[in-house]
Each structure stands twice: as C-alpha cells, then as structure tokens.
Amino acid sequence: MRLGFWGVFLALTESCWCTPQQTCFPGDELLGRCKNNVTETKPTCTELHLSYCSDVGYTRTMFPNILGHQSCMDAESGTEYLLLSVIHSLLNGECTPDIRLVGCSVLASPCQDDKIIRPCRSTCEALRKDCGHTFEAIDMAWPYFLDCDRFFASDQEGCFDPLAALRARQEQTRSSLSPDKPSTIIQFTHTSNSQMYSLLKRTAAKCSHISRAYSIGRTTEGRDLLVIEFSNNPGQHELLEPEVKLIGNMHGNEVLGRQLLIYLAQYLCSEYTLGNPRIQALINTTRIHILASMNPDGYELAAAEGHLMNGWIHGRTNAQNLDLNRNFPDLTSVFYRNRRSRHYRTDHIPIPDGYWFEKVAPETFAVMKWSRSIPFVQSASLHGGELVVSYPFDYSRHPQDEKMFSPTQDERVFKQLARTYADAHTTMSDTDTDRCGAHFYRTKGIINGALWYSFPGSMSDFNYLHTNCLEITVELGCDKFPSEVELYPEWKRNKEALLKYVESVHRGIKGIVKDLDGNGIKDATIAVKGIRKDVTTDEGGDYWRLLTPGTHIVTATAKGYSRVSKRVHLPQNLKKAGRVDFVLKKVPLKPIIDDHFFPMTETWDRFDPYNQFERYTEPDVVEEGIERETKPWWWSYFSQSGISPPNWLLRSV
C-alpha cells in the first residue's frame, strides 16, 4: 500500500519535485548567487496558519519564505507541504515528528523584527545522519528543501534550533515521571529491516557506555546479522561475568520474537539510564547479546505477505529455501552412536567433516562461529506457532520414533530453565484448557523437544553438544505474525519472563581454574559427578556451570595438570552462583590415557576446514582483463589427501 501511495505521490509531483519553480530563491539572492527578474512581494511578518506546522513553538513567520513561496496559500499548495503532511505514514512513523518540524522550519521560518531566522545547519546535519536511511529504504532521495548547506544557517550567522521545543516537551514529560517508578516509552509497531538496523544502532549510540552494536556476518542476500550487546564493559569478556544470548526471527515468518527483542533492547537502554536498580544490577553483572533477527531475508517475504495471512505461507526459510533450524550439524546422532563408549567425550563434539559438503546457510555459519567465539552460558531462541517452552534434545534417541522423550544429561537444569520462562509468562503455565498452548497444560507449558516432535540439526542441540551453552526454544504464541494492536499486550505477557530468564544465568557455580603461579588455565574441564557433560574454561581460566540445588561433586582438570575434586552444596534459597575455584599442579603428561578424555584440540577447532565460506567472500582476481580460474572449495581436500576427486564432482567445476 505504501509503494502504491508513493507512486501516486511521485506522479502528482513529478514536474516540480526535483527543482522548485522559482528561478532564484530569496536566500540565494541575498547571498548574491542569483537574481530574480520577477516582481516580488515585500517580505512581511504574518501569523503562522499551516496546520501541519502548528506545534513548531512560535506563531509568526515571513513570506516570501526561504523557498520562494509568496504567501501561505502558495506554501500550502506546494509539494514540500504535501510531503510533510504524509511523512509519518510514508516512513512508518520513523524519524517523525523530527523531519516534519525541521521541514516546517524551512517552509515557515520564524520572523523577528521583520527579519527571517533560518534553522540551524547543525540540526539538519544531525537529522540527516540519523534519518537518511529511512528515505533510502523507500528508494527516495533526501528532500531538496532539507539541503543543509543551502537553506540552513550556521551558529555564527545566527539561527534557531527547530527541535528545541520538542526536546523541551520530552524533558518535561520525563521530569514529571515519579523517580520511584521509572518509565520507558516504546513505539509498539512492526519494524522493517532498515528500521530495525537504525533503531538498534541508535539505541547502542544512545547508551554507548553500556552498549554496542556489531555484525556477526551477512545473510544470503547480503543483509547484516546485527547484534546489540549490553554490559558495563561492552566489547569485552570480563572475568566471571556470564554471557547470555537471545535470538529471534530464526524463521522469518515468526515475527513476535523479533519485535520483543527490539523492545527489550530499548527497554534495557532506557531503564538503565533512568536508574532502574534491577536493570542496572543485571547489566552490571551480565553480558547480554541480542540477535533480533537471524533471518531478515525470510522476514522480507513474510512482511510482504502481512499479518492477515498469519505469516504461515512465506518467509519461514532463508533465501536459499533452507530451514535454519534444520541446518546445524547433526551432533545428536553422533552422540547417540557413541554415548555408551566409556572414554568417548559427550561434550564439545567436533563438527564432522562431511557436514561441510552439505548446503550450509551463511546465517547458520555465522551463528556457529559466533557461538564458538564467545563463552556463552545460556541462550534462548524465540519462535512462534505454539505457546510452550521446549528444551533439548530435539532429536529422538530412536529416530524412527517421532515423539519420544529424549533427555540430555542436564535434564533437571533444562527443566529449571524452561520453568523459569513459562512460570514468569502471564498465561503459558496456567491450566486453562481454552487457550493457545492448552494441550501442554499438564506439563504447565514446558516439554522435551523430541517428545513434542523429533527433528535433526537443531540449533539448541548444537549448542548443547558443541559448546558450554544451554539453550531453550520459546514458542511465543499461535499467531506467528500478530497485528500491531497485539504487540503491546504480548510485550506485557513476555517482559518479565525475558528478564527473569536472563537473570537465571546467575545460578549454579562459577570460578577460576589456576596454576600454582596464579595464572588462569584455558580449556580446563569442569566435570560434575553423575552428569556426562563437562564445561570448559575460557582464556582467563573462568567458567560457569549451571546446576540445580543440592550436593554435587565437582572436578577440575586440564591436560598436563592434576585433578582436583570438591564437594559443593547449593541451598534452595541461594540467589546467586556459588564461587568454586581450583588450583591445579602440573604433572607429567600421559598422552595415551589423556587422549581418551581430551580429543586433540585441533579436532574441535576444525571449523570450515576447506575454506568453503572464505571462497565466497574473496574477490575474484583479474589480471590483464582475464579472470583467473578459482579452484572450488573442495579442491584442497583432495589435493592434500592424494585422492582423486570423483568424476561427478569434476564435472561440476
């Protein structure tokens, strides 16, 4: 609808949009740039009677104006005023009323002592920097009458800030709020990809002392996978500070999670600034990473279809038609095949080389690389289509059984994580049988993934078997693409659940593994008796291990070091993770025995071994107008192994 309207708008204004009808603007004539040959109306101060400019903060203007309109009637009939009247709808509410007010400052500048006062160039430049992308998103040039050099003045020349009155009103609103009840204002609308990028970047800039935005890669169609991070030291892993990630929109047509995470980012920034003690404590002790959209390409298709179709038809997959939640390495099958082997390690399972011969989505690759590069402790992936929290394993231990309870070694911890979200949600865990998600009422809104329905290649299973991270899947509701009127109620249903889930990372135990000299030991393992799932230490030797209350025997060891065990009791009412440190002594290395427990590190580190993705990111090399032949990504594998490639593979070159 927006493009249709814009086409009509362009048709109506085509003859006059690019340049104004006047041969010389009064402002340019004053500067000696040109001279009008027509008889002009004498500049006169008059009352401001433009309805779309009624809130500019002054009541008198002058005609002819900066644009050469001879009267208020001329200004009202101009294309500039028409654009200001539709700017809110045209830009989906983004950057308004700022653009409208700055436009009004050109169209109807204030008059004082029979002189016109121009708007400040600095205001215009700041506005264009923040909002230029909104016009690019609808394939429209920046409006000519907002030319910062031509129609605006410097501070030295004397100017006024057209946004000063707006800022004063906003400040008055903020000051009227009770300091005991901090308040954050969020616009609960659907957000296009360009709006999402802009909003997250602006949020990070607004709270640069606790936030930053960074990209983990690009999609098939070249869109950024943009993450916003919150921490009291953004960009750095701090010793003993747990890392949490929240991922939305993995399926492009499941939109609610994407919107909730965008709102959460704004909420965290604003509430921290307003002095909310809960949010300040959370951000000061936790590093939070939010990937609002893992599949922005799919979202584009779903958004074109719109919420009236409920998002069920298009946009689930990425631009390669790959379901991203079936595209991760199937490490669960590897686990099932080897779980009875006494010496086979059931955590940090390497990615099989054969996986790289399959079709790996760039979105999947980016998230895997991201998950390996940061020591995440806990994660949640937000989906839509049901109202329930599921947890690993997602793939049945008997693949032919599509609905079979298939627990991990951390079944109790996963149930605790799932319960945290479901119980904090306003309806997910209640026993009402006449609602979305009602058939999960017996388990109060949580379920083992494979017991619900089994499938391989899930992101949650990959996180559990390849990294330290424990991830749950949150199905947010039966409507995958809710209408805008539902967004605020959904935020109220999920806000507390999101906050409590992030806070729940401060459970179990944490600590540092050091040598006798006090140096942290990287890649030491932390084992808990009775749970065949170890976690490893990060660069500084710190670790986090999520555990349920009770007594646990915890053992730390590292290759070439002694083994140390401790008995740890975690009471039911413990509100934070218990501190358990270890000091290890160096011992003679026993490679044969140790290699059972510590597979060669290069095996786990073997990621994208044939440079499949580097090939697609390297530019083609051209010499003297001739494009060099680039070997396919699998060529190095066969060259190094001495094996000849099969004919069918050679024919594909």
Catalytic residues: 475
The residue count of the chain comes to 653
560-598 b/e (C-beta count within 10 Å ≥ 16 → b): bbeeeeeebebeeeeeebbebbbbbeeeeeeeeeeeeeb
Measured distance between the N- and C-terminal CA atoms of the chain, rounded to whole angstroms: 45
Give yes or no for a contact between 459 and 246, defined as CB atoms under 8 angstroms apart: no
Query: Residue 203 in contact with residue 186, Cβ under 8 Å?
Result: no
Kindly give, in sequence order, each residue whose CB lies less than 8 Å from that of residue 537, ignoring residues fewer than 6 positions away.
512, 513, 520, 521, 522, 523, 524, 525, 526, 543, 558
- Burial zone of 59 (CB within 10 Å; 0-12 exposed, 13-18 middle, 19+ buried): exposed
- What's the count of helices (H) and strands (E) in the chain, helices before strands? 23, 22
Is the distance from CB of 74 to CB of 105 less than 8 angstroms? no
**Residue 511 three-state SS:** strand
DSSP tag of 110? B
Q: How far is CA 602 from CA 259, 349, 369, 598, in A?
A: 39, 12, 15, 11
Strand-pair category, 550-557 with 564-570: antiparallel
What backbone torsions phi and psi does residue 389 show, to the nearest 5 degrees? -110, 125
Alpha helix segments (H runs only) across 32-120: 72-76, 79-90, 98-107
Are residues 378 and 429 in contact, defined by beta-carbon separation less than 8 angstroms?
no
Residue holding tokens 């986090």? 544
Q: What gap in Å lies between CA 247 and CA 315, rounded to an integer?
A: 17
Which tokens is 617 given? 């990111």
Spatial separation of the C-alpha atoms in residues 109 and 112, rounded to whole Å: 10
- How do beta strands 470-477 and 376-383 pair? parallel
For residue 490 the two structure tokens come to 């959904």
| Cis status, amide bond into 143, omega within 30 of 0 | no
CB 516 within 8 Å of CB 440: no
CA distances from 526 to 99, 241, 303, 541, 587 (A): 56, 17, 45, 11, 18
> Could you please report the per-residue DSSP string of 294-346?
S-HHHHHHHHHH-GGGTT-SS-SS-TTS--GGG-S--HHHHHHHHTT-TT---
Q: Directed axis angle between helix 193-206 and helix 121-136, to 10°?
A: 140
Nearest residue to 215 via CA among 296, 283, 287: 296
